[in-house]
Structure 1
Amino acid sequence: MAHEPLSREQQLLESFLALDTPRGYRAELIEGEIVVTPPPDGDHEDYIGLLVDQVGAKSQTRMQFAGTRGLTVPSSSGGPDIHLIPDGTWAPLQRRLYRGTGSWMPCDGVSMVAEVTSTRADRDRDVKRRSYARGGIPLYLLVDRQRGSVTLFSEPGDDDYQQVVTMPFGKEIALPAPFSMTLETTDFA
């Protein structure tokens, strides 16, 4: 019995899911392109640590954090789902959102994702932002090292976020419910 040949999109998705990246590297499937990123530098990890510490200490809702948690989002082009690995993912602890999931999970129940820019900052500022909005993630926090700013995107809709607040490093930025806290960025500068 002959099998139908796989479409280009199916071949791409199967190739992506079969990748065996070296330890510390991340592979993502973004709008039909496989993107492999090397391990982050120390500054990048420091920013994530500062975020995790503040959310843990100040959030009005107990949150569970996952670093490098794989999320799937529908593609805007109708191709294979986008597979993203945010630098940080938060969900209310009582939901135990990550239990029982495989390497990739839908965005349902995720409260916030964060990205810290690195060499391909345009991807974090544009493609990932629109992808997270399409996935319905309520909050996207972008720590933009090149611009020296923190941006909070909220109210996802129409393939983008409808509200955008940007503050330079050193200024506070409010995180709405379920966090209901102020994020201090003095240590980011």
Structure 2
Amino acid sequence: MTPDTEERPQMSVEDFEELVRRAPRELRNRLEFLGGRLCVRHGPLDVEEFEELAASAPETVRLEYIDGKVVVKPMPDGNHREILVWLQEQCMQHRPDLRVYGESGVQTEAYRKGRARSDGAVARKGHFTGHGEWSASNGILMVVEITSHDRDTHQRDRVDKPVGYAAVDIPVYLLIDRDSNTVVVYSEPQDSRYQEIASHPWGTSVELPAPLGFTLDTEELKDYAD
């Protein structure tokens, strides 16, 4: 499978209707469902409006705010969930002082105007105590995204998110790419770009740079090839 070949809709009509029903009254008439995509009429939402909409969304609708646009993130499938558990086990084995927090809302992009719902955020145990839905990037050592087989995964996970995460100086972005069966390590954020990008095929050893400082054994990932 290659990027952008899957034409799965962002969400179902039923999920869209439920989102509109729950949305703040002043936003309901601005939401449209066109070509399987969630669209916003009359200009983009601001961050505060997005947060209101995301807070009211049903559990089956995961919303992100990327580059000024409202984006629907697909629900994870079984292989996606197994990959996250694999990473949690690897992290606990090498760094028992750290945790992989699944489904973590992170403030991203310049001036923290983006809102990304990362598949995982690696931080010291207890880091997120007292945080709200969207955490500042301070103290997050690595963010993790696992690609989904939808038509937006290329732009979202390979293009926009590296920029957004680098802009708030998250040290490492780990992309587990299920289309190419690779693990991509982005590091050394500077000027909203990661200066170092290293791609590794599944089954090889993957070194995570500081502040992680351990090596991933990716052999098990072959079990989750689609």
Would you say same fold, with TM above 0.5? yes
Partner of 2:167: 134
Partner of 1:17: 51
CA drift at 1:150: 0.2
CA distance in 1, matches of 2:210, 2:47: 35
Q: 1:33 aligns with which of 55, 61, 69?
A: 69
CA drift at 1:12: 3.2
Instruction: List alignment gaps of at least 5 residues for structure 1.
Output: 1-7
RMSD value, Cα = 1.9
CA distance in 2, matches of 1:37, 1:163: 26
The total of aligned residue pairs comes to: 176
1:62 maps to 2:97: yes
CA distance in 1, matches of 2:143, 2:48: 26
Deviates more, 1:39-48 or 1:138-147: 39-48
Opposite residue 102 of structure 1, the aligned amino acid is G
Opposite residue 13 of structure 1, the aligned amino acid is V
Partner of 2:86: 50
Partner of 1:108: 138
Deviates more, 1:97-106 or 1:142-151: 97-106
Opposite residue 74 of structure 1, the aligned amino acid is E
User: 1:22-78: per-residue Cα shift (whole Å, max 9, x none)?
Assistant: 21431100111111223211111111111111001112x610221111111234xx7
Partner of 1:156: 189
SS of corresponding position for 1:153: strand
SS of corresponding position for 2:130: coil
Equivalent residues in 2 for 1:146-185 (5 A)?
A: 146-185=179-218
Opposite residue 121 of structure 2, the aligned amino acid is T
SS of corresponding position for 2:159: helix
Instruction: List alignment gaps of at least 5 residues for structure 2.
Output: 1-42
CA contact (8 A) 1:55 1:179 kept: no
CA distance in 1, matches of 2:211, 2:80: 25
Partner of 2:10: none
Partner of 2:117: 85
CA contact (8 A) 1:115 1:142 kept: yes
The percent identity for this pair of structures is: 34
